[in-house]
A and B are shown apart, each in its own frame.
Chain A
Amino acid sequence: MKRTLWVALGAVPAIALLLGAVTLALNLRDEDPLTETPAPAPAPAGQVARGEYLARAGNCMGCHTARGGEPYAGGRGIATPFGTVYSSNLTPDESTGIGGWSQAHFWRALHNGRSRDGRLLYPAFPYTSYTLVTRQDADAIHAYLRSLKPVAQPNRPHDLRFPFNTQAALGVWRALYFSPGRPVNVATRSDEWNRGAYLVQGLGHCNACHGHRNVLGATGGTLDLSGGLIPMQNWYAPSLSDPHEAGMTNWPPQQIADLLKDGVSAQASVLGPMAEVVASSTQHLSDADLHAMGVYLSTLPLAPNGEEPRGDPAVFERGTKLYADHCAGCHGEQGEGVAGMYPALAGNRAVSLASPANLVRVVLEGGFAPSTAGNPRPYGMPPFATVLNQADIAAVLTYVRGAWGNQGSAVPEVEVNRYR
């Protein structure tokens, strides 16, 4: 009996050691030995230009530039449920930026999620997607960043709660949810499809918003585009495969490309966080790449879906009147909208999403589609935060989600409060 106890007690540290070793090993997967090379000679102009384009595709600037700050000098706070992560200085400053980073260091950051000094990086930097980027593309982005004007701006320390602020916790997270990857190359698909998959899954990191996150903030992998509430922003990034959400399966690829280029297309328009993505990233991509993304997204497997119960007609009267007073002037008495100006609400999938988060946000805050070459002067939706109270918003949304054949569920006041 006593002997069994001693064996058990002895096993505890052994198991702990074993788990530690496994975690460590999992964290070191697919790491190339670092070859310390002197800073590369000035890169060829072609490589720098290519790197600039790829940095656009990855929207690096979106996070690595503070409001009003120097481009790529970092310092922007990214709010997460675990605290705030501050983006780092990507300019080639020797002491505060990535001036001392070799190509191998940069590749290891993108591919393995490790900083120059060996520290594990937080996945707010989406290396969980960037791990699919090729070495050649990583080197081009590195060459572009090194061509920028150095900005001396020290990185701001992250502001994360315990235990999320420890490398050990991050190591465990990575052991569970991160494994380095390589670009897909599905032989049965066209080169264009594979190019689209590469951009959507890798640099585009679409799943950072459109994937469903678990309680530890992990998505279901780069193939998961099943939709999710964007943490801390309270915008719902709809599923790209569910035909009742923003699914584009079986859409003509050109319409998907148009949406990413102009912010509007024959079937849809973008608003909120996606408007910023189009404004700062996708509108700058080549027609060929956008079409490739369209080809890939149009082949996502159709997700199963359930019918939403129809809204409660009891609140329609209040909602009907509010709609007539505040909404019909642009969206039409029958929710038909005005082509090219104001989206139709009748039959609009964004209106009937299971989560009313986006409707609440857009009614409170209003918004514009992005300014793009194809749509430089978008029409705007006014914010109603100072005009409608919580009960008004619940009523008008319940009406819009149940009128004209829409099948969205009623929106109780508590839901409005949850997302405001």
Chain B
Amino acid sequence: MCLLMSLLVVASAGLRAAPKVEDSIAQRVQACTGCHGREGRAASDGYYPRIAGKPAGYLYHQLLNFREGRRHYVPMVRLIAPLSPAYLQEMAAHFAALDVPYPAPQPSTASAETLRHGEALALRGDSARRIPACVQCHGPALTGLAPAIPGLLGLPRDYLNAQLGAWKAGNRRAHAPDCMAQIAQALTPADVGALSQWLASQALPAQTKAVDALAAPLPMPCGSVTPTPP
């Protein structure tokens, strides 16, 4: 009986093994993956954007933008408030280096006409209204331009709508000259809706990483691309 008791004690002590956690950057940034998804992969129906595989410079700039009042999502601002620039940079590099599959695109809820409008703006822009095409900066396959311009595919429609809307309203900003702010000013609410519908419904190409160079120079100066902000 006594032996049985002590065996039971040993067994229950075994169940109480200390949590297995490793000393790794992935373990350290579990606070990020709580919302952005495991390994940075956000659920396709969730609001929070995917950060896995986005260019490191872009991710780091967003952390600075939250910290310095150019983006205003309070939980993000509070979460990163006590962290050093070096650590934020390490986090950005970690998520940029992740290579995980993308979720299936969100089926569109828009009319064919709306989708055609979104596609036209994304691929060809509207020179009459001085709106460059998305592909002119975000890469021919919209997978981004390393190190500072993000890809636009694989993001939730609600998130795209909210970001374009915030840029238009001046609630989201980037380092000056703020090229996206200028472009968003020129977009109508119908343009924003069409772009979000079309972008969110596109499948990723086989090569999902940001390209290293574009065929033509950027159509307008962008503070988040050059010079690199501190």
Q: Which of B16, B34, B35 has the most A CB atoms < 10 Å from its CB?
A: B34
CA gap between A276 and B32 in the complex, in Å: 19
Docked complex: A350-395 residues within 8 A CB-CB of B: 365-371, 376-387
How far, in whole Å, are A366 and B28 apart by their CA atoms in the complex? Answer: 13
Q: Which of B2-10, B65-73, B117-125, B193-201 contacts A (4 or more CB under 8 A)?
A: B65-73
Q: How long is the Cα–Cα vector from A108 to B87 in the complex, in angstroms?
A: 41
A68 is an interface residue with CB less than 8 A from chain B: yes
Q: State the CA gap A387–B21 with chains docked (Å).
A: 22
A341 touches B21 (CB 8 A): yes
Q: Which of A402-417 contact B (CB under 8 A)?
A: none
Closest residue of chain B to A68 (Cβ to Cβ) is B68
Contact with A330, one of B19, B25, B68, B83 (Cβ below 8 angstroms) = B19
In the assembled complex, the Cα of A371 lies from the Cα of B87 at a distance in Å of 8
Q: Mark B75-112, 1 if CB is under 8 A from A, else 0.
A: 10111111110110010000000000000000000000
Known pairs A366-B31, A382-B34; A371 contacts B90 (CB<8 A): no
Known contacts A371-B82, A382-B30; 6 additional CB pairs below 8 A are: A275-B82, A341-B21, A366-B75, A367-B31, A367-B79, A384-B34
B11 in the interface (beta carbon within 8 A): no
Please tell me if B27 contacts chain A, counting CB pairs below 8 Å.
yes
**Interface 9-mer from A7-15, A110-118, A177-185, A331-339:** A331-339
Q: Is B33 an interface residue (CB 8 A)?
A: yes
Quick one: given A365-B79, A366-B34, are A332 and B69 in contact (CB under 8 Å)? no
| Interface residue count on the B side (C-beta < 8 Å) | 33
Q: How far is the CA of A400 from the CA of B163 in the complex (A)?
A: 38
Select which of B27, B75, B78, B82 is within 8 A of A379 by beta carbon: B27
Is A279 a contact of B82 with CB atoms below 8 Å? yes
A residues engaging B (CB < 8 A)?
66-69, 263, 275-276, 278-279, 328-334, 336, 338, 341-342, 365-371, 376-387
Q: Could you show 22 A-B contacts with beta carbons less than 8 Å apart? A: A68-B67, A68-B70, A263-B82, A278-B82, A279-B81, A279-B83, A329-B21, A330-B30, A334-B16, A366-B31, A368-B82, A368-B83, A370-B83, A371-B84, A376-B86, A378-B87, A380-B30, A380-B79, A382-B31, A383-B31, A383-B35, A383-B75
B18 CB-CB contact with A under 8 Å: yes
Within 29-85 of B, Cβ neighbours of A (below 8 Å) are at 29-35, 67-70, 75, 77-84
B15 CB–A CB distance under 8 Å: yes
- On whether A331 and B35 interact (CB within 8 A), knowing A275-B82, A377-B87, the answer reads no
Distance between Cα atoms of A336 and B69 in the complex (Å): 38
Residues of B within 8 A of A332 (CB): 16, 18-19
A379 to B, closest residue via Cβ: B28
Interface of A is mostly: loop
A36 to B225, CA, bound (A): 50
Chain A residues closer than 8 Å to B83, beta-carbon distance: 279, 368, 370-371, 378
Chain B nearest Cβ from A342, distance in angstroms = 7
Q: Select one of B21, B80, B90 contacting A377, CB under 8 A.
A: B90
Which B residues lie within 8 Å of A336 (CB)?
16, 18
In the complex formed, the residue of A with least CB distance to B46 is A386
Q: In the assembly, what is the distance between CA of A367 and CA of B83, in Å?
A: 10
Contacts of B35 in A (CB 8 A): 382-383, 386
- Nearest chain B CB to A284 CB, angstrom units: 12
Known contacts A67-B69, A380-B29, A380-B79: A338-B84 contact under CB 8 Å? no
Which 9 A-B pairs rank lowest in CB-CB distance, beginning with the nearest?
Answer: A380-B31, A382-B34, A68-B68, A67-B69, A371-B84, A370-B82, A275-B82, A68-B69, A279-B82
Query: What distance in Å separates the Cβ of A215 from its nearest Cβ neighbour in chain B?
Result: 27
Residues of B within 8 A of A377 (CB): 25, 28, 87, 90
With a cutoff of 8 Å between Cβ atoms, the chain B residues found around residue A334 in the complex are 16
Given A67-B67, A68-B70, A384-B34, residue A378 in contact with residue B28 (CB < 8 A): yes
Of residues B67, B83, B87, which shows the largest number of chain A Cβ atoms within 10 Å of its Cβ? B83
How distant is B148 from chain A, measured CB to nearest CB, in Å? 18
Least CB distance, A383 to chain B, in whole angstroms: 6
Whole-angstrom distance between the alpha carbons of A92 and B179 in the complex? Answer: 34
> Which of the residues B16, B34, B78 comes within 8 Å of A387, measured between beta carbons?
B34
CB distance from B91 to the nearest CB of A (A): 9
User: Which of the residues B27, B82, B90 comes within 8 Å of A276, measured between beta carbons?
Assistant: B82
| Distance in angstroms between the alpha carbons of A336 and B31 in the assembled complex | 20
Q: Which of B104-142 contact A (CB under 8 A)?
A: none
